[in-house]
């Protein structure tokens, strides 16, 4: 019975996500202009840092066994706005409506910044 309830909750969450597939998450790291954009239909996320948007593809989706279950999307790729050869990782939690950005992902000097404003549905974005 416990698993049936969990499947119903997860299924409901996924149905809701099917309707809402575009999100924006502002105030990354406390900088008003820094924004994460997520388009689940295109399997892309972007990070806007004042003058350009670096776009990276979806690499992983994880269902966290928590209460309630959480769906976490991880996007990663070349940071087109950063130093040559650096990776950008964007993590989006569709259950908590939160996001964070890791600059220079995988390196010793990697730094992660959270979206302090949380995330909202934003059907106007186009990645």
Per-residue pLDDT of the chain (127 residues; tens, 9 = 90+): 444 334 334 444 444 445 799 999 999 999 999 999 999 999 999 999 878 899 999 999 999 999 999 999 999 998 876 666 689 999 999 999 999 999 988 888 889 999 999 999 999 999 9
pTM above 0.85, yes or no: no
Residue 47: exposed, middle, or buried by beta-carbon count in 10 A (0-12, 13-18, 19+)? buried
- In this prediction, residue 83 carries a pLDDT of 64
Task: For domain 2-121, give the CATH number.
Answer: 2.40.128
């Amino acid at each position: 019975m416990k698993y049936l309830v969990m499947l119903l909750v997860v299924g409901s969450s996924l149905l809701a996500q099917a309707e809402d597939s575009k999100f924006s998450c502002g105030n990354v790291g406390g900088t008003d202009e820094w924004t994460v954009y997520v388009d689940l239909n295109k399997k892309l996320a972007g990070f806007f840092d004042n003058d350009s948007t670096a776009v990276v593809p979806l690499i992983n989706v994880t269902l966290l066994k928590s209460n309630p279950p959480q769906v976490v999307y991880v996007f990663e790729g070349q940071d087109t706005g950063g130093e040559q050869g650096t990776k950008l990782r964007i993590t989006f939690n569709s259950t908590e409506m939160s996001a964070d950005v890791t600059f220079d992902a995988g390196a010793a000097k990697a730094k992660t910044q959270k979206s302090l404003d949380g995330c909202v549905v934003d059907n106007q974005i186009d990645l």
